[in-house]
Structures are given as C-alpha cells and as structure tokens.
Amino acid sequence: MFINRKAELKLLADRVKSNKAEFVVLYGRRRIGKTALILELIRRYGGIYLLARETSETENLRRFSDRLANYFNDDILRKNPFQSWDAFFEYLHQKSKERIIVAIDEFPYLVKGNKALPSILQEYWDLKLSKSKIFLIICGSSVSMMEKLLGYKSPIYGRRTAQLKLKPMDFFNAREFLPKYSPENFLRAYGVLGGSPAYLLEFDGKKSIEENLLNYFRSDSFLYQDAPFILREELDEPRNYFAIMEAIAKGKTSLGEIMSETGLNRAIVGKYLSVLIDLDLVRREVPVTASWKSRKGKYYINDPYFAFWFRYVQPNIDLIEMEQGNALVKLVMEDIDQYLGVVFEEVTKQFLARLNKMDKLPLSFTKIGRWWYKGEEIDLVALNERERQALLVEVKWKDVSEGEARKILKELTKKAQLLDLKNWQEDYGLVGRSIEKKDKLRSEGWFVWDLEDFEALIRT
C-alpha cells in the first residue's frame, strides 16, 4: 500500500521526465518507506529494482544477472551471469540508450563485499553512464554509511545529480494511514508510532488505542522489537546510547540532567549525543532568541516512536516478557496525556509551518521554536527578525474553556515582556485539543486553533 509521499514522488518524477542521465542517492533509516517510494516510481514509469543482500559478491552479481535477464528477456545473460561489477555497469550502459530506471537498494551491502565498488561506479559514471539516458538510484538504510559515501573523500562525491534523505512523515501526511480515527485518537496514535509508514501500518484503525497497545506490548510484536534492532544496526556500544535516550524520554533534557541520570561523564555524553543528532534520533534546541552556541541547550528525542519506546517500553520490558501487557497498557493510558504535551507542541510547529507556507499568519516567520528563561517558558515563538514581527503561542493538550483561554492569553502577553522585543509587532495565539468559543476569541484579534483546524488543513 502506497500512501502519500507526494512531494518526494514529484521530485523523482520530475527528474525521470528530464530525459538526461540522473544519479540519485536515496537514503534514510529502516521502516521509513524508501523501498515503497522506489517501487511506486517504477510502477508508474517502468524500470528495474535490484535488492542487494548481505551475501557474497558472486551471489549478488548472479541475482542481478537473473533480474536483468528476465527484464530484458536476455537468454545470453541468463546463461552467462556477470563475473564483475565492470561487466554489470557496462551492461547497464549498453541498455541505457533509452530512458531506464535502475534502482539498487541496500547499496552498502555491495560496498561491504567490494570496497572498490564506489571507484568502479565513479569511473563508469564519468566515462559512460553520465552520457546515457539512465536514471540510476542507489539506496541504503545505513545512514552513517550512506553519508560516508556522499562525503568529500568518497569516489562518488560530486557525481550524484540529486540526493534525498527520506524522513518520517509529519502528522498531517501520516493522517491518511488511520483515517477512521478521530483527530484526538490519531494524535495519540502518532505519539506512539511517529511518522514511519511501517509502524503506522501496525495499528488497526478499527481497534481502540488500548487494543492496539495490547498488541504492541507482546514479546513477539514488531513494534516492541524494532527499536533496539534499528539502533543496534547504526550504533556501537548501544548500551550507553540506550541509557541516554531513556534519560531524555524521562524528561532529563539538559546536559547536566542527562549526566546525572546516566552516571556518564560530560565527554562521553557529549560524544554520544553528537552521534544521535547526526542520525536524526535526537535534536538539540536552544531558546529561539538565543545563538546556537548557547549553553542553554536542551535535548529531545526526534521521533515519537522512539520517544514512546524509551519512556514506556524500555523501563517495563519485564512486564512485556512476562506477558503482562494489560498492566503496561493501564500504566500508559494513565500517563499518556502528559507525554503527549511535547508531541502536541511539535505537531503544532508543523501546523504553523504549513500556515506560514500558505501565507495564513500575521507574519512570514523565518524561525520558530521554544523560548525559556529561568522559570519562564513560552511553548512556541515564531519570528521574522527582518520585519521585527513575532507570534507567541501557548500549546495545551487539553480541552480549554473560554475563561481558561482568556487567562492563558493574558499571561502570555505578560511573558512577552521578558523577550524584550521593543518596537516589534507582536501577536498572540493559543492551540488546544479543543477551545470553547474560538471564533469569538478570533474576532477579538487572538490567533486560536484546535484539532478541528488541524483536520480542516488536512482536507485543503
């Protein structure tokens, strides 16, 4: 089942239509939907998909020979498979007088089998393939290895005509996976699963959140087992990484708090956080008005799937292994609204970014993020520094009455004075699960949205 990825598919389709040689590098961690995207492109425009395996070079060449022989109905190749990568690329060159898509998935497995492969590809691209009509895609799930292949020291550096790092879908694109869920329940599901298609497909939209969680909290569950599998593929010494991510999931977001929680020293925590940031598993935030070099940085797990796993699953593995999933479901449902506060803030940021792109805000912001100073905090501040405009927004994962909304907005105007935005145009907003009499509040100049508005944006 192929859902969404419209922007990524259009990017690739536009290059297919260019009719010139294209060398596209597509990568991203497992479960993100890379293979589905490639297969959908091939379904629409034709081409051949080659999947590398963690096996010998001879075996991969034999398998690729079979696939190409069947595709081109080539009996000679079927009887005489490729003996080298030179023969493979020469064959592709001969067959690319007309437009053809050739996608090689899990390319890093091939490089493990032959370290010279990037150099061989470089030579054939420079001398032959770049002058053909081939549309070559190399794809991989090892983010660290793919980024190494794209690096300055790699032989194929500078040869690619495009690269696409596939990331999890945002809340709005992921909505299509569970259309039968109410907006509130989908926010809960997104907080559990994040935006990776493989995880979203594990929830049954006909079942409640609790029923789906009960299936999640089984010892043989894919959702239960996959987080450690993904991390162990990418990381050395996963034990320390696990400790750091569990600390962050508990709300220990500053460097000092993480050190205290894990018992690891500053140098080790800093090193491991840097790796997790490079892999897009963790993000570092500073107050939106501060320099990136600020020492006030806080750390958050980027993907809700991993945030949920480390908050609820990792500390309670014993319950799952003893088949006491019911007890864990009860624990989660008692706490989940508190956990969803941070998720809802990130979804609101996605919502405001979409409104910004559609010119539906009082400013065209260039920066957005949290702001904090000592004991005070504003959930989201959007800034246009050139025009000296700001939109300050509080985010509440709750049903907000009209009276509560007025109180929150009034307090927000007071907090704004701490930002010291003299002679700036300031606007104020509130986002809630639901907000009573929001039209009345809007008529008074406040910017007010709730899940109903999120759904309306999805429909546009």
Token pair for residue 207? 């079942």
Asked whether residue 6 carries a pLDDT value surpassing 90, the answer given is no
- Residues 154 and 221 occupy one common structural domain: no
pLDDT over 90 for what percent of the chain? 84
The torsion angles phi and psi of 434, rounded to 5 degrees, stand at -150, 150
pLDDT reported for residue 304:
97
Reported as a single tens digit per residue, the pLDDT across 278-296 is 888 999 999 999 988 888 8
Reported as a single tens digit per residue, the pLDDT across 185-239 is 999 999 999 999 999 999 999 999 999 999 999 999 999 999 999 898 888 778 8
User: Of 165, 188, 209, which residue is a domain's last?
Assistant: 165
User: Of 117, 146, 165, which residue is a domain's last?
Assistant: 165
Asked whether residue 21 carries a pLDDT value surpassing 80, the answer given is yes
pLDDT reported for residue 157:
83
Single-letter amino acid code for the residue at 104:
I
Mean pLDDT value of segment 384-410: 97
Residue 251, sorted as left (phi over 0), alpha (psi -120 to 50) or beta, turns out to be left
pLDDT reported for residue 151:
80
Query: What DSSP element (H or E) covers 283?
Result: strand 282-285
Quickly state the pLDDT bin for 58 (edges 50, 70, 90). very high
pLDDT reported for residue 29:
86
Q: Which residue pairs from 38-43 have beta carbons closer than 8 angstroms and sit at least 24 positions apart in sequence?
A: 38/103, 38/105, 38/137, 38/139, 39/2, 40/2, 40/5, 40/9, 41/9, 41/12, 41/13, 41/16, 41/101, 41/103, 42/101, 42/103
pLDDT reported for residue 1:
61
- What lies within 8 Å, CB to CB, of 195 at 6+ separation is 167, 168, 169, 170, 171, 173, 174, 303, 304
Quickly state the pLDDT bin for 379 (edges 50, 70, 90). very high
Residue 453 structural domain: 361-459
pLDDT reported for residue 19:
81
Instruction: Determine the Cα–Cα distance for residues 410 and 404; give it in Å rounded to an integer.
Output: 10
- Residues 215 and 159 occupy one common structural domain: no
Quickly state the pLDDT bin for 442 (edges 50, 70, 90). very high
User: Of 277, 306, 340, which residue is a domain's last?
Assistant: 340
Asked whether residue 440 carries a pLDDT value surpassing 70, the answer given is yes
Neighbours of 29 (CB within 10 A): 24
How many structural domains are present in the chain? 3
pLDDT reported for residue 46:
95
Instruction: Determine the Cα–Cα distance for residues 384 and 362; give it in Å rounded to an integer.
Output: 10
Q: Give the CATH number for residue 397.
A: 3.40.1350
Mean pLDDT value of segment 262-274: 94
In a domain, 272, yes or no: yes
Q: Give the CATH number for residue 200.
A: 1.10.10.10
pLDDT reported for residue 396:
97
Cβ pair 370, 289 in contact under 8 A? no
Reported as a single tens digit per residue, the pLDDT across 325-372 is 999 999 999 999 999 999 999 999 999 999 999 999 999 999 999 999
- Residues 205 and 311 occupy one common structural domain: yes
pLDDT reported for residue 406:
97
Report residue 370 CA to chain centroid gap. 20
In a domain, 347, yes or no: no
Cβ pair 301, 310 in contact under 8 A? yes
Neighbours of 332 (CB within 10 A): 22
Cβ pair 8, 116 in contact under 8 A? no
Asked whether residue 88 carries a pLDDT value surpassing 80, the answer given is yes
Quickly state the pLDDT bin for 114 (edges 50, 70, 90). very high
Q: For 420, which DSSP code?
A: T
Instruction: Determine the Cα–Cα distance for residues 242 and 263; give it in Å rounded to an integer.
Output: 13
Angle 325-357/183-193 helices, nearest 10 degrees?
110
pLDDT reported for residue 170:
95
Q: Where are the alpha helices (DSSP H) in 150-299?
A: 171-174, 183-193, 197-200, 209-216, 222-234, 238-249, 255-262, 266-278
Quickly state the pLDDT bin for 180 (edges 50, 70, 90). very high
Give me the chain's average pLDDT, please. 94
Residue 19 β-bridge partners = none
pLDDT reported for residue 287:
94
- Residues 332 and 186 occupy one common structural domain: yes
Q: Give the CATH number for residue 114.
A: 3.40.50.300
Q: Are strands 162-165 and 282-285 parallel, antiparallel or unpaired?
A: unpaired
Token pair for residue 41? 């492109």
- Residues 176 and 155 occupy one common structural domain: no
The torsion angles phi and psi of 370, rounded to 5 degrees, stand at -75, 160
In a domain, 308, yes or no: yes
Cβ pair 213, 332 in contact under 8 A? yes
pLDDT reported for residue 152:
77
Instruction: Determine the Cα–Cα distance for residues 440 and 448; give it in Å rounded to an integer.
Output: 10
pLDDT reported for residue 35:
92
In a domain, 356, yes or no: no
pLDDT reported for residue 142:
79
Reported as a single tens digit per residue, the pLDDT across 120-147 is 999 999 999 999 999 999 999 877 778 7
pLDDT over 70 for what percent of the chain? 100
Single-letter amino acid code for the residue at 375:
G
Please choose, from the candidates 455, 457, 459, 458, the residue with its C-alpha nearest in 3D space to the C-alpha of residue 185. 455
Cβ pair 67, 59 in contact under 8 A? no
In a domain, 199, yes or no: yes
- Residues 220 and 139 occupy one common structural domain: no
In a domain, 355, yes or no: no
- Residues 372 and 224 occupy one common structural domain: no
- Residues 199 and 119 occupy one common structural domain: no
- Residues 161 and 133 occupy one common structural domain: yes
- Residues 154 and 50 occupy one common structural domain: yes
Q: For 17, which DSSP code?
A: T
pLDDT reported for residue 236:
78
Asked whether residue 101 carries a pLDDT value surpassing 90, the answer given is yes
In a domain, 107, yes or no: yes
In a domain, 354, yes or no: no
Q: Are strands 425-435 and 48-51 parallel, antiparallel or unpaired?
A: unpaired
Cβ pair 259, 287 in contact under 8 A? no
pLDDT reported for residue 420:
83
- Residues 384 and 269 occupy one common structural domain: no
Neighbours of 309 (CB within 10 A): 25
User: The dihedral of CA 196, 202, 207, 212: what is its sign?
Assistant: negative
The torsion angles phi and psi of 290, rounded to 5 degrees, stand at -95, 160
- Residues 256 and 296 occupy one common structural domain: yes
Query: What DSSP element (H or E) covers 111?
Result: helix 107-113
